[in-house]
Amino acid sequence: MPTICFETLGCKVNQYDTDRMIADFRQRGFEVIRDGSAADVYVVNSCAVTSMAEAKSRRHVRRLANRAHQPTVILTGCSVDMAIRTGYPIDDATLVVSNAEKATIVERLLALRPDLAPESNVGCEVIPYEEIRRTRAVVKVQEGCDVNCTYCSVPFTRGSPRSRPIREVVDEVRQCLDRGQPEIVLAGILLGSYTDDCAPVPRDITDLVEAVSDVQGVRRVRLSSIEPMHITDTLLELMQCRPTVCPHLHIPLQSGDDEVLRAMGRPYTRRQYIDLCGKAQSLIPDLAITTDVLVGFPGESEAAHTRTLETIREVGFSRLHVFRYSKRAGTPAAEMSEQISDDVKVQRSSVTTALGRSLQEAYATRFLHRTMPVIVEGPEQEDGYRSGYTANYMRVRFPCTPIPPGSEVNVRLATVQGGVIEGQLDAAPSPLGVV
Ligand code: SF4
């Protein structure tokens, strides 16, 4: 049986694409293995959101192509679409497959390597091992973006927005539940633009969340990321009244300075963003708000950077993802004057990351001595601990005897140190807001 190994970089949408490709290869009789042994084929599902991510994707391909057993290396994902657009050569991969061609990746490989075609397709049930490993099922419901932020290459690599019909999503959610995945993460590039045009009356992201949370057996529904302009009162009200909808919103901020936001093409102001978060926090108890921050955008002054830090403190995020701006070919920001030096970007990034860590710890501290439901992930660790996530996206470690991944346990949170939260199993969760 031919063997294949996947490496995935980047966002949840890419993770989902990898799961689909794994399913396709398994169905065609390939054995999907983890890295460590010599696979016949490697697939690097790449990312190009920053120049660093793109360089890392290429390094992976080079490293794999240089292995002594000379495997076939397929490069797919956003760095392929970027290379097509910019004419940047891709030398090391045996085969390159764009995002749009991912659905035909098996045929593309077998056309090149017919010797890898299994003698007969194995009639096994299609269960991607990546999905078995995770208790959170990522379900892609939307693709593409047309916001055209001036720094971003995603609209080139992922195309215009399009959505899957609700009934198709609900069918996939049922399959995830059958595989023992009780938490559903709805993912999309511009998730909040979700529209089911096939329904008699167009249905939006709130309708989708409601439909998924109505599926019997779903214990949690989480949104992967949603832009501030797509967060409506109706969505917040749904989150407020449905216990299965996680009290967690990932709302990209990018900058807390109005001038920088304007130059980025982000359609909101600092004040609108802060007010939106304040409204959400007052409606939804224990809400976790996580975000992305882009430092070192062209023209970002020291004062603008300080305003971003103030905004971050004012909102009180529970987690930050900090990115350093890098030029993306073909974007307006790449041509802007006043590019920021790498030294300044590194310095701003480390200050922002440090602030993020302290806010993460402060947020977690609010929940100490509370008992919270945790969905157990992965196998027992060597030190006898297990870990999992609370509904408000805190990773918690606790000592525990064997219990299957996907089980829900109640954990009384005891300590938080260096971002690691530890607790003990407990009988029942504390009522919301009660210590
Ligand atoms: S919203 Fe902006 S940053 Fe996000 S994918 Fe679209 S263009 Fe890129």
Of ligand 1's listed atoms, the one at least distance from the Cα of 227 is 1
- What's the sign of the alpha-carbon dihedral 132, 161, 248, 295? positive
- Domains of the chain, each with CATH number or no CATH: 3-116 (3.40.50.12160), 134-246 (3.30.750.210), 249-366 (3.30.750.200), 371-426 (2.40.50)
Q: What integer pLDDT is reported at residue 199 of this predicted model?
A: 79
Q: Other CB atoms closer than 10 Å to residue 341's CB: what's the count?
A: 9
Which of 435, 408, 375, 355 is CA-nearest to residue 185? 375
For the chain, how many residues are written? Answer: 435
Q: How far apart are the CA of 304 and the centre of ligand 1, in A?
A: 21
DSSP codes joined into one string, 360-414: HHHHHHTTTT-EEEEEEESSPPTTSEEEEEETT--EEEEE-----TT-EEEEEEE
Position 306 scores a pLDDT of 98
Cα 212 to averaged position of ligand 1 atoms, centre (Å): 25
Predicted pLDDT at 430: 55
Ligand 1 atom closest to 148 (CA): 7
- ipTM, 2 decimals? 0.91
Location of structure tokens 């120049």: 51
pLDDT digit of tens for each residue in the chain (435 aa)? 899 999 999 888 999 999 899 989 998 889 998 876 789 999 999 998 888 888 898 899 999 999 888 999 999 999 999 888 888 877 789 999 999 999 999 999 999 998 888 765 443 343 444 444 568 899 999 999 999 999 999 988 888 999 999 999 999 999 999 988 999 999 999 999 999 988 788 899 999 999 999 999 999 999 999 999 999 999 999 999 999 999 999 999 999 999 999 999 999 999 999 999 999 999 998 999 999 999 999 999 999 999 999 999 999 999 999 999 999 988 999 999 999 999 999 999 999 999 999 999 999 999 999 999 999 987 777 778 889 999 999 999 999 777 888 889 999 999 998 888 999 998 765 554 333
- Residue nearest to ligand 1 atom 2, measured at CA: 149
Q: Is residue 152 within 8 Å of 26, Cβ to Cβ?
A: no
**155 Cα to the center of ligand 1, angstroms:** 7
Rounded Cα distance between 40 and 37, Å, is 10
The set of protein residues with a Cβ atom below 6 angstroms from ligand 1 is: 145, 147-149, 152, 154-155, 189-190, 227
Measured in angstroms, how far is the CA atom of residue 148 from the centroid of ligand 1? 6
Would you say 278 and 287 are in contact if contact means Cβ atoms under 8 Å apart?
no
pLDDT of residue 298: 97
Pocket test for ligand 1, best of 146, 189, 230 (most atoms within 8 A of CB): 189
- The atom of ligand 1 lying closest to the CA of 152 is 8
Residue 124 pLDDT: 39
Whole-number Å distance, alpha carbon 144 to ligand 1 midpoint, is 9
SS3 call for 292: strand
Question: Ligand 1: which atom is nearest the Cα of residue 189?
Answer: 5
Q: How far is the CA of 149 from the centre of ligand 1 (A)?
A: 6
- Number of the ligand 1 atom closest to the C-alpha atom of 254: 3
* Nearest residue (CA) to ligand 1, atom 5: 154
Residue among 145, 160, 261 to mutate when testing ligand 1 (max atoms within 8 A of CB): 145
User: Which atom of ligand 1 approaches the CA of 153 most closely?
Assistant: 8
The ligand 1 atom at the shortest distance from the C-alpha of residue 266 is: 2
Residues linked to residue 376 through DSSP beta bridges, in sequence order = 388
Q: What is the pLDDT of residue 119?
A: 63
Q: At what angle do helices 166-178 and 205-213 cross, to 10 degrees?
A: 30
